[in-house]
Amino acid sequence: MNCREIQEKIALFEELDEKERKLVLEHIKVCEECRRFYREEKKLRETLRMVRVERKLRVRRVAITAFAVMATLLTLLLTFKPHKAQFHELIISEQKNAVVKVLINGR
């Protein structure tokens, strides 16, 4: 197998079976050029993996923030009680309005 073929295999290293990987690894032991190519490919794969992990973490952070905002809003909603006096006033003014309406309309 020549260097060009080996380098094609290196580019697909993740998809190679055990036998093919062994072949590549044996070759790069004795071939400087392919060894360099192998290292560069490996570095590239690691960079790509880190980018993917970083992207996944970013999505997770957004989800957590959205959840925290929702939880806060829900807590506020559940613990919110209008001031008793204000509530009382509101009812009284509603009753006054009803009485005024009855007086005006005669019903």
The one segment of 8-16, 24-32, 48-56, 98-106 that binds Zn ion by CB under 5 A: 24-32
- In terms of CB distance, is 3 or 57 closer to Zn ion? 3
Cβ atoms within 10 Å, residue 7: 18
H-run or E-run covering 100: helix 84-105
CA diameter of the chain: 108
The amino acid at residue 37 is F
Indicate the residue among 23 and 31 with the shorter CB distance to Zn ion. 31
- CA–CA dist 43, 27 (Å, integer): 19
Residue 49 tokens, joined? 């993996």
Q: How far is 92 from 71, CA to CA, in rounded Å? A: 35
Q: Which is nearer to Zn ion, 9 or 34 (CB)?
A: 34
Q: Interface with Zn ion by CB under 5 A: which range of 12-20, 23-31, 54-62, 72-80?
A: 23-31
3 binds Zn ion (CB under 5 A): yes
53-82 residues near Zn ion, rule: CB under 5 A: none
Please work out the total of residues on this chain that contact Zn ion, with binding judged by CB under 5 A. 3
Residue 41: CB minimum distance to Zn ion, A: 13
Write out the residues near Zn ion by the rule CB under 5 A.
Answer: 3, 31, 34
